[in-house]
Structure 1
Amino acid sequence: MSVHGAGDTRPVIHRNSLREQIAGALREEMMAGRLAAGRNFTVKEVAEMYGVSATPAREALVDLGAQGLLRTEHHRGFTVPELCWDDFLEIFESRVLITDSFHRQFATGRALPDLSRLEPLRRRADAAVRASRAGNLDVMVGCDRRFWQEVAALLGNRRIGEYLDWLRVQSWMFAARYLRELPSLAGVCWDGHPDLVDAIEAGDLVGAHRIICAYNLATVRMLAERAGRPLESVTVLGLLVEQVDGPEQAPPTAPPESGPEPQAPQPEFQSESQPGSPPEPGRSGRRSRAGDELGRELGRELGLGLGLVPQPRTVPYGRFGRRLPESPPEAPRGRPGPHRTPGR
């Protein structure tokens, strides 16, 4: 059995860095949907396909498995994972929140993008636009990925750039099956790459952030329509719409009815600067239990935690799901405790 079809062309693999070359070729095969979700293959098949020995082929497959891009099947080789809509939401929301945090960091002036990389970025943008307008998915995934790798390099944080690239690979793996169902991809995918480069070159960081948000908004709208999913399930949708359309596009709120002016909210805790002042009626120095419950319910509904980072949907048992054993109560002084043998 061969991983490719009869008429597919095999990518040229050079003898240097065989493991990285094979892993990169397989990664783009999955991004373009040529290796579809659920496809199973063995080390021998990959080695024969690229004309190499089993050792670099096995190392490449193990690397992809460690990245979560392949699933290891006992005695059956490796399988391309099937990503569902919930998986895509976690990937998409993580990507949006990271790029938004970098925009806020650049806005403070404490960190600015590295503008010395604009020339290769513009070349990547031109190649990505040509592939997008031609509708060639096999070429588009590689050009788009390399363009966003250059954009991430401007951030000056290698680990963040690698993490964003890992998220983008999985985004393409999810989107490829829906894009391949379309009769033509010409004009379907985003082609605003040169506009983003122009904004970065002009130092318009606000405009660059708006372009990225427009790209993310167009992506999630298209995939939600193709997957038959509601946009309301995207928790960062309001953030994207506000950045693209502006806060003035938000629906107006109804004016308050005439009546007594609302009073300012009272502090939740009693001030420590006035230790002698009595607490207010019906209020203690402890936090409101109803407020705590409301905050927990709101956090569960939004799926967000501290720092607006999406929380994992499952908690592994044995790490956080098991309560720690309680320590025995301390015995009063002067008498031996229940866990202590009295001396003779």
Structure 2
Amino acid sequence: MGHLKHRDLNATRERLRDQVSSALRAALISGELRPGVVYSAPTLAEDFGISATPVREAMLDLAREGLVEPVRNKGFRVTEFSERDLDQYTEIRALIEIPTVGRVTRTAACEDLEALRPVAEEIVRAARDHDLIGYLEADRRFHLALLALSGNERLVETVSDLRKRSRLYGLTALDERGELIPSAEEHVELLDLMLAGDARGAEACMAKHLGHVRSLWASEDGASKGERGDR
């Protein structure tokens, strides 16, 4: 598991669990840890070069988020999501994020929006550089920071949880097909519309972006099952 090896986890005891959780979450999102597969804490700990205890604790954190489920005497199975699950998560995100983007466009200060440009550009750069972990981290920071401009902390928490549960599968395959770059560039497009004060345009762009992300899931799922074009 390439992304798990050689991670810098030389941290204090109290931070190690959180760092392992973040590393495992990144591996889950990127598809390095595969849905339906059972992973043991000792095996993962060997990849990290640490003891099994913080890995086991981190996996329990992920289990509470619904990302993995304990398997007695074996380890943890990565949760599998159905097409219906992904559709429902996308619908909830759309109900929250589309109108929120419109509201933020009308109320946020231009300097607060402009402060997000480096992150939007970082997303595009990571996609072009095939830096999948960097892409996902920058994408997370952009969306949550944008929603935070609404002033509603609970809204941000809800979307953060939905993003964890509706992670992109098989990101490597999407990257190899060049399908991440158009999605990445939509962040810059969205920001430009918001800075121009075009609330309706921003809402339409966010709707397009969420639809684009969902189509990537469907495309990857169909490819993995040999069903591309059947959806």
Band of TM-score, shorter chain? 0.7 to 0.9
Q: In 2, distance between residues paired with 1:182 and 1:116?
A: 32
Alpha-carbon distance between aligned partners in 1 of 2:31 and 2:101, rounded to the nearest angstrom? 32
TM-score by length of 1: 0.56
| Rounded Cα–Cα distance in structure 1 between residues aligned with 2:101 and 2:165 | 23
Equivalent residue, structure 2, for 1:161: 156
* Structure 1: runs of 5 or more not aligned: 232-344
Partner of 2:63 in structure 1? 65
Matches of 1:22 and 1:120, distance apart in 2: 29
TM-score normalised by the chain length of structure 2: 0.80
Deviates more, 1:217-226 or 1:68-77: 217-226
Counterpart in 1 of 2:196? 202
The size of the alignment, in residue pairs, is 222
Q: 1: distance between equivalents of 2:206 and 2:163? A: 14
Pairing partner for 2:7 from 6, 11, 23: 11
Give the partner amino acid of 2:208: A
> Partner amino acid for 2:197?
G
Give the share of equivalent positions with the same residue, in percent.
29
Q: Distance in 1 between matches of 2:212 and 2:196?
A: 24
Is the 2:21–2:58 contact (alpha carbons within 8 Å) kept by the matching residues of 1? yes
| d(CA) in 2 for partners of 1:122, 1:193 | 9
Aligned 8 A contact 2:9 2:20 in 1: yes
- SS in structure 2 of the partner of residue 15 of structure 1: coil
Q: Match for residue 337 of structure 1?
A: none
CA distance 1:187–1:46, change in 2 (3 Å)? closer
Shift, 1:185, TM fit? 2.3
Q: 2:150 is paired with a residue of what secondary structure?
A: coil
Contact 2:70 2:76 in 1 (8 A): yes
Q: Which residue of 2 aligns with 1:124?
A: 119
Shift of 1:154: 1.7
CA RMSD of aligned residues (A): 2.9
Alignment of 1:87-102 (within 5 A): 87-102=85-100
The verdict on how the C-alpha distance between 1:20 and 1:90 changes in structure 2, with shifts beyond 3 A counting, is same
1:35 is displaced (CA, Å) by 0.8
Q: Which amino acid aligns with 2:138?
A: C
- Greater helix content: 2
TM superposition shift of 1:182: 7.0
The equivalences for 1:35-184 within 5 A come to 35-103=33-101, 112-113=107-108, 117-118=112-113, 120-172=115-167, 175-177=168-170, 180=173, 183-184=176-177
- Counterpart residue number, 1:185: 178
Aligned pair 1:218/2:212, yes or no?
A: yes
Query: Residues 244-263 of structure 1: matches in 2 within 5 Å?
Result: none
SS in 2 for 1:71: strand
Secondary structure, in 3 states, of the residue corresponding to 2:76? strand
CA displacement, residues 183-211 of structure 1 (integer Å, 9 cap, x when unaligned): 43266541121222223333332222121
Query: 1:191-250: per-residue Cα shift (whole Å, max 9, x none)?
Result: 12122222333333222212111212323344445535887xxxxxxxxxxxxxxxxxxx
Greater radius of gyration (CA): 1
> CA deviation digits over 1:97-141, x for unaligned, max 9?
11134256558x7xx346564355212111101122344434322
CA–CA distance in 2 between the matches of 1:54 and 1:95?
35
Amino acid at match of 1:22: V
More displaced stretch, 149-158 vs 217-226: 217-226
* 8 A contact 2:4–2:27 mirrored in 1: no
Partner AA of 1:98 in structure 2: I
Larger RCO (CA within 8 A; separation ≥ 6): 2
CA contact (8 A) 1:40 1:79 kept: yes
Q: Give secondary structure in 1 for the equivalent of 2:178.
A: coil
CA distance in 2, matches of 1:42, 1:224: 29
Indicate conservation of the 8 Å contact 2:102/2:203, yes or no: no
In structure 2, list runs of 5 or more residues that go unmatched: 223-227
